[in-house]
Structure 1
């Protein structure tokens, strides 16, 4: 069996042949920032069974740790496959086909985002499972400030803050565009009003890619590290914040899944949050169902 995949813009394409080695979810802060998601997922394959179809020359790389490279499409920002050790790691959110393998574990759950709850019964590891390697320390990219919620990219060059705590909700979107944009099982987005948002640094480093045929679907990312950062829609007076980019607990929590009709076949929703085949009825994002003072603060 051969599976194929592309980045969001389609410039980068690849294919890989089964059998695959393993599949799992990572909750480390570096993966969350790189993907802008609640967690990253990886499908491992031997290099002899992996092939670039096009666009390898357009891939940019950021060394997030000694010997650890995080590749991304220079045009749209999608995280793309990369090698580590003796394997190639594919973000299955990029796949157009079902790999017919399912996730086997959660790793780095000690670094899990405070706004995300793991609801399935897969094995959990605080860091790497025994024998897989040593954890690399990651320094917080911004200092906490009372009454504000801060976030940053992976390299730290881009930083922002929003008024907090934020009511939410955080919405998990399973549409194919979000899956390819974040190279993840789903996107997790927080929506804030423009007056509540402020760039702290690096606004000039933000690259925006709009899907040509979309009304407004736009991905924003740091040109240096590829990490997903907020997209400011001045015309609508709203900012879409990739929740994985947050440094602080926003107070908001995941409250709904949307576009589950387009859900990745390899990912199962295990929580009991409301699910919608496409957009939920009424205004979007919908008002939070949680009390205004619920949740922790940064």
Structure 2
């Protein structure tokens, strides 16, 4: 039995194996929902799944018959209801090793331009063979003007980074993994005044861990997509790379908190790995 929870703990779940088909999904909807280059999900028997805190779970219908669920307090992606005999859970929230490893990349044809797949796992342009499901076109996202544009899945929130980012990196700390419900976070850094909210600033929710000095997650209160946060105290705008609609031009240059990485995920790229925070 594996225990999992959202970042704030309002939604928690236990799931028992056998686990099946842990895979990385690169579709644009998953990237925005989690704010990362890919979402990692695994299937398990519905009979071994138990969820607590369902009253804190927000559901958003992302497509006909498909709901994406998130914690309304902290924004972590959380499981929906089981589908038939199976449940689908995000691997990023696991608090222990599930004993399985990723077996494929799906929707690799839709991968983010700033991310390179460097492992040897099989890649499928969309669903793997044998899955009889409709492949949806990417949602259109209309933006005007210069800059790097982004927004949420439902379209309520849109933003523009008005200057080139000066840093991009991956973070493997346990907080980031739970916040993004993913293998790791992927963030861009700009100065605090280098973002323009084009619409929907009033739809942004945020959650700060009480004991943390800086850690905060911002997300769309309607669809749960992860969004930038502005930290005036450090003069930073911190943008989840998965929230972008444009190629930012910059690429991640390092992994931080690599000593805390998920046991089921291997770092296979040649970027520097720092056990904790990056050296100053």
Q: Quick check: TM above 0.5?
A: yes
TM-score, with length taken from structure 1: 0.91
Q: State the distance in 2 between where 1:109 and 1:182 align.
A: 20
Aligned to 2:139: 139
Q: Unaligned regions of 5+ residues in structure 2, if any? A: none
Which residue, 50, 58, 61 being the options, matches 1:60? 58
Work out the CA distance in 2 between the residues paired with 1:118 and 1:130: 20
Q: How does 1:144-155 map to 2 (within 5 A)?
A: 145=145, 147-155=146-154
SS at match of 1:150: strand
- 2:70 match: 72
For residues 143 and 244 of structure 2, the distance between their equivalents in structure 1, rounded to whole angstroms, comes to: 12
Query: Contact 2:162 / 2:196 at 8 angstroms: preserved in 1?
Result: no
- In the TM superposition, what is the alpha-carbon distance from 1:167 to its structure 2 partner? 4.6
Aligned position for 1:123: 122
Question: In structure 2, what is the Cα distance between the partners aligned to 1:11 and 1:217?
Answer: 18
Matched residues in 2 for 1:115 and 1:43: separation?
25
Q: Which runs of 4+ in 1 moved over 6 A?
A: none
**Residue 270 to residue 144, structure 1, CA distance change in 2 (3 Å):** farther
1:199 equivalent to 2:197? Answer yes
After superposition, the C-alpha distances for 1:68-118 in whole angstroms (9 at most, x for unaligned) are 100000000000012464321111110101100000000001110011111
Instruction: Tell me whether 1:100 sits opposite 2:99 in the alignment.
Output: yes
For 2:158, the equivalent position in structure 1 comes to: 159
CA–CA distance in structure 2, aligned partners of residues 16 and 85 of structure 1: 14
Whether contact under 8 Å (2:32, 2:152) holds in the other structure is yes
| Distance in 2 separating the partners of 1:230 and 1:268 | 27
Query: Aligned partners of 1:142, 1:34: CA distance in 2, in Å?
Result: 18
Distance in structure 2 (CA, Å) of the matches to 1:194 and 1:172: 20
Distance 1:84 1:17 in 2: 13
Residues in 2 aligned to 1:135 and 1:177: alpha-carbon distance in whole angstroms:
32
Match of 1:257 in 2: 255
SS at match of 1:254: coil
The offset of 1:184, in angstroms, is 0.2
Residue 3 (structure 2) aligns with: 4
Alignment of 1:146-225 (within 5 A): 147-164=146-163, 166-225=164-223
What TM-score do you get using the length of structure 2 for normalisation? 0.96
Q: Which deviates more from structure 2 when the two are superposed, residues 232-241 or residues 2-11? A: 232-241
CA distance in 1, matches of 2:82, 2:116: 28
- Give, in whole Å, the separation in 2 of the partners of 1:85 and 1:108: 21
Is the contact made by 2:194 and 2:237 (CA closer than 8 Å) also made in structure 1?
no
> What is the aligned length?
278
Change (3 A) 1:213 1:4: same
Task: For 2:229 and 2:177, locate their aligned partners in 1 and report how far apart those are by CA, in whole Å.
Answer: 17
Deviation at 1:143, TM superposition (A): 2.7
Within a 5 Å distance, the mapping from 1:239-250 to structure 2 comes to 239-250=237-248
Alignment correspondent of 2:36: 37
CA distance in 1, matches of 2:166, 2:26: 21
Query: Partner of 1:194: helix, strand, or coil?
Result: coil
